[in-house]
Amino acid sequence: MSEFLAAAEYIDSAHPAVVAFSKKHAKGDTPLERAVSLYYAVRDGIRYNPFLDFSDRETYRASAVLAAEQGFCIGKAALLAAAARAAGIEARVGFADVKNHLTTPRLAETMGSDLFIYHGYADLRLEGNWVKATPAFNLALCRRFRVKPLEFDGRSDSVFHAFDEDDRRHMEYLRDRGRYADVPVAEIQRAFEETYPKLFKLGRDTAKETFA
């Protein structure tokens, strides 16, 4: 079996909840149609939340994101890739560094930057081609902040828009971090702790308070 179809530690496509989610939302007669329906199920069914405990490995695991019904870009990409594999579609995850020109003041203050390293997306093999799919921002969030929602047709890359609904500069891609058969969590956590020490500590402290 291809490594892009096999269950992995974080793209845990054999998890019963992921399998059930995939069966429920993979609608259509072709892999492309099923991939598109899975994309929208993850995009809008899982709320985007950048204020998570990034020191917790469960934050990056597809089944944990599904159970929490929320996640950030990497977790949501892992869930889409896992659901796609469960539907027999080859999938992997990719990463890039992006500059968010519209970062909210709260997030910018917490991160200490408008640079998002290791922004995650899913990469699906459809009709013989690898196609990028970015299910990060749910529709309700996009409408709230007047950000153009990302659509996905299974043939064209779905990547962040350069401008928002009001023609303000939005996302700028700066560096390609490559594509992986599973989420390289240890590598990402090291980079996050070094780049965003306040955000990394905040998530860890919040988790301690929650379970204290």
Measure the CA–CA gap between 103 and 170, rounded to whole angstroms: 9
Decide: helix, strand or coil at residue 121.
strand
Which residues make Cβ contacts (< 8 Å) with residue 107, sequence separation at least 6? 50, 51
Cα–Cα distance for residue pair 172/115, rounded to 1 Å: 9
pLDDT in tens, 113-170: 788 999 999 999 999 999 999 999 999 989 898 988 999 999 999 998 777 788 887 7
Percent of all residues in the chain with a pLDDT value above 90, rounded to a whole number: 69
Provide the token pair at 73: 């870009």
Domains of the chain: 16-211 (3.10.620)
Both tokens of residue 124? 């699906």
| Per-position b or e across 100-132, b if 16+ CB within 10 A of its CB | bebbeeeeeebbeeebbbbbbbbbbbbeeeebb
pLDDT digits (tens, 9 = 90+) for 12-57: 999 999 999 999 999 999 999 999 999 999 999 999 998 889 999 9
> What is the pLDDT at residue 199?
75
